A and B are shown apart, each in its own frame.
Chain A
Amino acid sequence: MQNFSTDINQVRTLAWVLAKASGDRTLDVPGEYIWAFPDNNKFEPVRSRYRSIFSSGNSIKDSEVIDYTQSLNLAQHLLNPWIVKQFEEKFPSWIAAGTRYNLQNFDQFKYVGFSAGTQESFINFYLFNKNKRFRVFRGDYWWHMDIWSKIGAEWAYIEDDDLRANDVCICSYPFALTGDKHKDLDWLIAQCNQQGIDLLLDFIYLPNSNGAVDIDLSADCIRQITFSFSKTFPVQCAKIAVRMCKEKPQDPMQMSNDENICNRLSAGLALDIINQFPVDYNVTKYLDKQTYWCNRLGLKQTKVVHFGLGNDYTNFGRSTSGAWCSPFNDQQNRYNLGMLYENENLLKKLQLY
C-alpha cells in the first residue's frame, strides 16, 4: 500500500471538530443524510460521525448550487412531458463542452437515457448480464460487490483471475479509489476488445476531474457509459444520472425512458442545473482549496477536485477499524475534502483554516 505523509493528528482534530459541530448543528452547510446528523453532541454519536467525516464520494455541498436549487420551482416540471427529453438532449453537449478531459468519439453514444442514479443503470447492467461473471478492479465502487454478493451473482476482482469470455467488466474513470486513471485500464480495454467482453465505463467523477481522463471511446468493448450527478452537485437524493449507449438498449430502464415515465422532478432539476453551471464548475472553484488542504494535511492531491489521498485516519496507529457502510468499502485512504471546503467560514472562526 502506498504510504503518505499525512498529518494524522491534524486530520483527526478537524474530523472531531466537524463531527462535534455536526452534533451542535453549527456547520456552515449541514449534511445530507441522517447519519450525518449525530443524535446529540455527546461523545458516542460524535465519535460515530467522526469516523465518516472524510468518507463517501459525494459532491461538495456548494452553497451557491444549494441556494440555486432551493430557488427553483421543480413542480412545474411535472407538467412538462418533454422535460426528460430536453435534459437528455442537452446533457451530451454539456459534457462535451468540458475542456479538462478528452472523450474521443463521444458522439458514438447516440442513445441517452435518464437514470435514477447510476445505481439504476448498474442494476440494469446486472440484470441484462445476469448469466455472466462480473469483474471489477479492487477499490472500485463497493456497491457493485456488495450487491453482487447479496443477490448471489458470480463475480471476481479482475486482479484475482484471468478475463474469460463469459465475463463483463465495470470500471470507473477516474477510478473511484484514486481519482485518476486506473493503471491497468488500457490493458483492460485491450483485453476486453480482444475477447469480446463488454466494459461499462463509469464516468462517475468526470465533471470534477482535471486532466485525468483521455480516452478513445470507439473501442468496441465500450458500449455504454454512465455519469453521476450526485458526485458533482449537491442533489444526491434526487437520484440523477445518465447512461449513454452506442446501440439502443433493451432493458427496464430504457423502457421507462421510452414510456416517458422517468422522474420529471429530477430530470427538470438536472436540466436547470446544467443550464446554470458549467461542467467544470467545481474544478474551477475548488482547485486552489484542494491544493491548500492537501498541502496542509499531507495528502496527495488527486485529479478529482474533492479528493485527496492519505493514510487512513481511522486506522492509522489504531487497533480498531471498520469499513464504512459495507465490507467492500475499501476507500479509507481516499479523503473527501468537501466538508473542509463547505465549512470554510466555521473553520476560519475556529482558526483551523
Chain B
Amino acid sequence: MKLQIIFKNIVDSPKCKITVANQELYSGLVNNEYNYDIELDEGPCSLVIEHWDKLPSDTVVADGKIVKDRSFELESIVIDDYNLEELIWESKFFAENGNVYPSCLFFGPNGKFIIDLYNPVLYWILKTRHEKNNNDPDWEEDYNYYQQACRILAQI
C-alpha cells in the first residue's frame, strides 16, 4: 500500500504516531508530509494517527482566550494514488479524555484519529461512496472487472 498523509496548520511542534494495521510507521514531531510504501495483506485495516505528548502548558491562555495551542490538522490522505477526498470524514477522533469527535480532522487534545479502511483501498472507496450516496450500485462488478483488467495487462 502506498500511503501519503499531508498535515497543515502545524502549531508549536506537536508529536504524532502513525500506525497502519498495527504497524507503527512513524513517531515524532509532526511534519507536513509523509509517504510510505508498505506491505499489507488484503482485508480490513485501520489507519491511526495519534497526537501525543501534549501538556496542559502547551495551551496558552491570556485574558480567557487561547492565544497559542499546540495542534495540527489533517489535510489529505492518498492511498495507492487514490485521494480519499470527502471520505476522509468517515473517521473519528478519540480524545484521551474520553470524548469522541466524529469527522474531526483537527488534532487539538491528545488522542487518536482512526479511519477504518480496507486494502485495496479502491474497494473501500467505492463501497463507502455507494453506501453514503446510494448512486453506484454496479460498483462491485465494475471493481472486479477493473482488477481483472489490471491483472491481464500486468502480463506485458
Contact = CB atoms under 8 A, between A and B. Distances in A.
Interface of A: 12-13, 16-17, 19-21, 24, 26, 40, 42-43, 46-47, 50, 318-320, 346, 349-352
A350 B146 contact: no
Contacts of A352: 152
B149 A17 contact: yes
Given A17-B152, A20-B153, 15 more contacts: A12-B145, A16-B145, A16-B148, A16-B149, A20-B149, A21-B153, A43-B126, A43-B142, A43-B146, A46-B149, A50-B145, A320-B137, A320-B138, A349-B155, A350-B152
B150 A20 contact: yes
Interface of B: 81-82, 122, 126, 136-138, 142-143, 145-146, 148-150, 152-153, 155-156
Given A43-B143, A318-B138, A320-B137, A13 B149 contact: yes
A20 B137 contact: no
Given A17-B149, A19-B149, A320-B138, A350 B156 contact: yes
Contacts of A20: 146, 149-150, 153
B153 A46 contact: no
A16 B156 contact: no
The A interface, classified by DSSP as helix, strand, loop or mixed, is helix
A13 B82 contact: no
A320 B148 CA distance: 21
Contacts of A40: 81
A13 B145 contact: yes
B133 to A, nearest CB: 13
A350 B155 contact: yes
Contacts of B150: 20
Nearest to B135: A320
17 contacts: A13-B145, A13-B148, A16-B145, A19-B149, A20-B149, A26-B153, A26-B156, A40-B81, A42-B82, A43-B122, A43-B126, A319-B137, A320-B138, A346-B156, A349-B155, A350-B153, A350-B155
A16 B155 contact: no
A42 B138 contact: no
Contacts of B138: 318-320
A64 B95 CA distance: 67
A349 B156 contact: yes
- Residue of B142, B145, B149, B152 with highest tally of chain A CB at under 10 A: B149
Contacts of A318: 138
Contacts of B82: 42-43
B79 to A, nearest CB: 12
The 9 closest A-B pairs by CB, nearest first: A16-B149, A20-B149, A16-B145, A17-B149, A319-B137, A350-B152, A17-B152, A349-B156, A43-B146
Contacts of A26: 153, 156
Nearest to A321: B138
B96 to A, nearest CB: 38
Given A12-B145, A43-B146, A17 B136 contact: no
A214 B74 CA distance: 69
B148 A24 contact: no
Nearest to A319: B137
